[in-house]
């Protein structure tokens, strides 16, 4: 289920892309391909990129979850995030010495206040190219207190800084949706992320100080007719990192103790739920990781307590209408660790703000001097700016309208299109009902879910509600959207009655009340989507008007219905 994305997309799946789309996609893809070769450019250091939060950045993503979703039309996006992680690194994770644990503060890093700047493009309805730059502007902490004999003459292994700021490694992403169902309820994507170090050394838990990369698989599923319209999302991959360590966890200079960081297995699962007709989205996420290294630098990191972390996070995201901006959204989330491991915060908070806009080519205009030279040197009898030698109608001015705005001839008279769906009435099988093109002439220009038959709107897919409730399920929104288009295209429909009906299960009073509330819920949805309230009425009749037997499941399903009837027509009406 898509949080944003109200643009139309051709059913044929064939799309024509502008030159800007192709150039941007090629440039970003070429840059992302360079990350396929991970090479440690810098010597081993003790600290590393501590923050375990990888903010995705694309407009349909979560604060933590990467989704295999793209906007249908090419876009450019940008997002800014603020994050706070409290106590992400504890003394017990870098030393096992009881003397050091008793003498040292409980937490090594007590807090990181970070920003996450993301930007990218989505093209081809499948490909996302983007990047994220994290910076911990404020970092605070405590140095551990080690007994003098703990490391003998190797105290260099204990040197690091607990203060900031600390620039994190830049993450560059190349993401592709490899498969999705035609109805958008299931999708699978692949992703390759490259990590570019921001410095040659990082003594304060900012950068890994070496290149790394992370292939990942993403997937999501929206169960049909599932209560609340939930979408389930999962991410998993392998993060290939350069080996770093604190306090010699491999035991090269004495007893094995400390924290080693190398290759890791990260993962995340969560669920998203839309509210307020898709303007608001809430989500819950579990994310974590474990180490995959076991060598003479990191020691064993596989499912050890120091290297295995788990956090939960709850978030909300709201789409805002702002003038001059095509899409703008804000979000916030918070969570805590479920169990420890380096990077797992006792408390984590994040706030996001982002936008995206369509990629459009603008026609280039000739310099004024060139245009003037053409006018002076070439005859233009009709004065339409097109010289006679290339003007198909040299004595009739061009009106610069489709289908050919530069052939020199005015456009032919437009054919009537009563429902304004772009299909002339002469080829529109449903001239009063806005619809989509269809190669079948008997279905061309017809809506998918409704038919206007006299004064009754016959629905081919019933309105679905939560069981025993008046809450409309999201799979009914496309059908109700066609009702909106029908009323907008036919101002002569001055009033429509919305009738609610139920089957015979349950008491008559309960069913009567439920049918009234369901009819009113549908009316409210149509009003919220632009239909004037005075054009709509609603009423419920409970179980009193069955159209089929209540003795079978099929009959009861037919009786649970919402009907739409035109009760007043005139010369015109408002929206």
Q: Which CATH architecture has domain 447-569?
A: 2-Layer Sandwich (3.30)
Give the integer Cα–Cα distance in Å for 85 and 335: 10
The DSSP output letter for 91 is G
Beta strand 536-540 with 493-501: parallel, antiparallel or unpaired?
parallel
User: Which of 102 and 151 is assigned the larger pLDDT?
Assistant: 102
Measured CA to CA in angstroms, residue 559 lies from 300, 471, 544 at distances of 64, 18, 10
pLDDT tens digit sequence for 114-147 = 999 999 999 999 999 999 999 999 999 888 887 7
Q: Which CATH architecture has domain 19-358?
A: Beta Barrel (2.40)
pLDDT tens digit sequence for 370-419 = 555 555 556 778 878 788 777 888 888 887 777 777 777 877 766 787 77
Contact 177, 70 (CB under 8 A): yes
> What is the pLDDT at residue 158?
55
Contact 194, 35 (CB under 8 A): yes
> What is the pLDDT at residue 36?
40
pLDDT tens digit sequence for 542-551 = 999 999 999 9
Question: Where exactly are the structural domains of the chain?
Answer: 19-358, 365-413, 447-569
Q: How would DSSP label each residue in 140-177?
A: EE------TTSSTT-GGGG-------EEPPEEEEEEEE
The DSSP output letter for 425 is G
Phi-psi category of 186—alpha, beta or left, where left has phi over 0 and alpha has psi -120 to 50?
beta
> What is the pLDDT at residue 262?
93
With cut-offs at 50, 70 and 90, classify the pLDDT of residue 448. confident
Task: Give the closest residue to 125 by CA, choosing from 63, 182, 79.
Answer: 182
Beta strand 309-322 with 280-291: parallel, antiparallel or unpaired?
antiparallel
Q: Is pLDDT at 13 greater than 50 in this prediction?
A: no
Give the integer Cα–Cα distance in Å for 564 and 551: 25
> What is the pLDDT at residue 323?
65
Give the integer Cα–Cα distance in Å for 404 and 516: 53
Q: Is pLDDT at 368 greater than 60 in this prediction?
A: no
Q: Is pLDDT at 39 greater than 70 in this prediction?
A: no
Task: Give the closest residue to 197 by CA, choosing from 188, 208, 187, 186.
Answer: 208
Q: Is pLDDT at 437 greater than 90 in this prediction?
A: no
With cut-offs at 50, 70 and 90, classify the pLDDT of residue 43. very low
Q: For the residues 310-338, what does the mean pLDDT come to?
A: 88
Residue environment code for 368-393, b if the CB has 16+ CB neighbours within 10 A, otherwise e: eeeeeeeeeeeebebebebbeeebeb
CB count within 10 Å of CB 454 equals: 8
pLDDT over 70, % of the chain: 83
Q: How would DSSP label each residue in 259-308?
A: EEE-SEEEEEEEEEEEEGGGTEEEEEEEEEEEE--EETTTEE-TT-TTT-
Strand partners, 498: 538, 564
pLDDT tens digit sequence for 219-258 = 999 988 776 789 999 999 999 998 888 887 777 766 667 8
Give the integer Cα–Cα distance in Å for 133 and 116: 6
> What is the pLDDT at residue 338?
95
Whether pTM exceeds 0.75: no
Q: Is pLDDT at 111 greater than 70 in this prediction?
A: yes
């Amino acid at each position: 289920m898509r949080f944003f994305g109200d643009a139309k997309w051709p059913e044929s799946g064939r799309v024509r892309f502008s030159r800007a789309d192709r150039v941007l996609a090629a440039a970003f893809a070429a840059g992302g391909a360079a990350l396929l070769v991970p090479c440690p450019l810098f010597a081993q250091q003790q600290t590393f990129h501590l923050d375990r939060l990888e903010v995705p950045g694309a407009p349909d993503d979560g604060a933590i979850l990467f989704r295999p979703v793209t906007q249908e039309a090419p876009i450019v996006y940008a997002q800014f995030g603020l994050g706070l992680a409290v106590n992400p690194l504890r003394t017990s994770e870098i030393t096992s010495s009881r003397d050091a644990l008793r003498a040292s503060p409980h937490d090594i890093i007590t807090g990181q206040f970070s920003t996450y700047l993301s930007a990218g493009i989505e093209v081809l309805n499948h490909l996302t190219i983007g990047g994220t730059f994290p910076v911990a502007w404020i970092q605070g902490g405590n140095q551990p207190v080690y007994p003098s004999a703990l490391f003998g003459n190797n105290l260099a292994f204990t040197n690091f800084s607990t203060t900031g700021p600390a620039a994190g490694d830049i993450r560059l992403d190349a993401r592709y949706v490899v498969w999705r169902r035609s109805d958008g309820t299931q999708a699978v994507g692949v992703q390759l992320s490259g990590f570019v170090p921001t410095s040659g050394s990082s003594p304060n838990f900012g950068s890994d100080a070496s290149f790394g990369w992370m292939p990942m698989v993403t997937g999501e599923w929206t169960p049909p007719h599932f209560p609340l319209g939930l979408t389930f999302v999962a991410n998993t991959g392998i993060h290939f990192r350069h080996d770093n360590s604190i306090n010699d966890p491999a035991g090269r200079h004495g007893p094995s103790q400390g924290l080693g960081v190398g290759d890791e297995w990260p993962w995340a699962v969560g669920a998203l739920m839309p509210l307020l007709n898709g303007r608001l989205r809430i989500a819950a996420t579990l994310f974590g990781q474990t180490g995959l290294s076991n060598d003479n630098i990191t020691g064993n990191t596989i499912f050890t307590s120091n290297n295995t972390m788990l956090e939960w996070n709850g978030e909300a995201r709201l789409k805002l209408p702002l003038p001059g901006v095509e899409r703008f959204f804000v979000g916030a989330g918070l969570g805590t660790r479920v169990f420890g491991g380096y990077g797992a915060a006792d408390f984590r908070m994040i706030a996001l703000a982002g936008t995206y806009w369509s990629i459009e080519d603008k026609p280039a205009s000739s310099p004024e001097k060139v245009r003037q030279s053409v006018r002076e040197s070439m005859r233009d009898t009709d004065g339409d700016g097109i010289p006679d030698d290339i003007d198909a109608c040299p004595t009739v001015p061009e009106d610069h309208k489709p289908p050919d705005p530069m052939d020199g001839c005015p456009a032919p008279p437009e054919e009537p299109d009563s429902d304004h769906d772009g299909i002339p009435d002469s080829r529109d099988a449903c001239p009063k009902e806005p619809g989509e093109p269809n190669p079948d002439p008997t279905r061309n220009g017809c809506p998918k879910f409704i038919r206007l038959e006299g004064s009754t709107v016959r629905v081919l897919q019933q309105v679905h509600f939560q069981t025993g409730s008046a809450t409309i399920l999201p799979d009914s929104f496309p059908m109700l959207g066609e009702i909106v288009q029908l009323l907008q295209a036919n101002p002569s429909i001055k009033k429509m009655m919305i009738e609610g009906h139920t089957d015979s299960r349950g008491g008559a009073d309960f069913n009567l009340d439920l049918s009234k509330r369901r009819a009113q819920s549908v009316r409210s949805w149509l009003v919220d989507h632009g239909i004037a309230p005075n054009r709509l009425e609603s009423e419920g009749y409970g179980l009193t008007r069955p159209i089929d037997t209540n003795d079978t499941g099929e009959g009861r399903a037919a009786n649970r219905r919402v009907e739409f009837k035109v009760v007043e027509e005139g010369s015109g009406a408002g929206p």
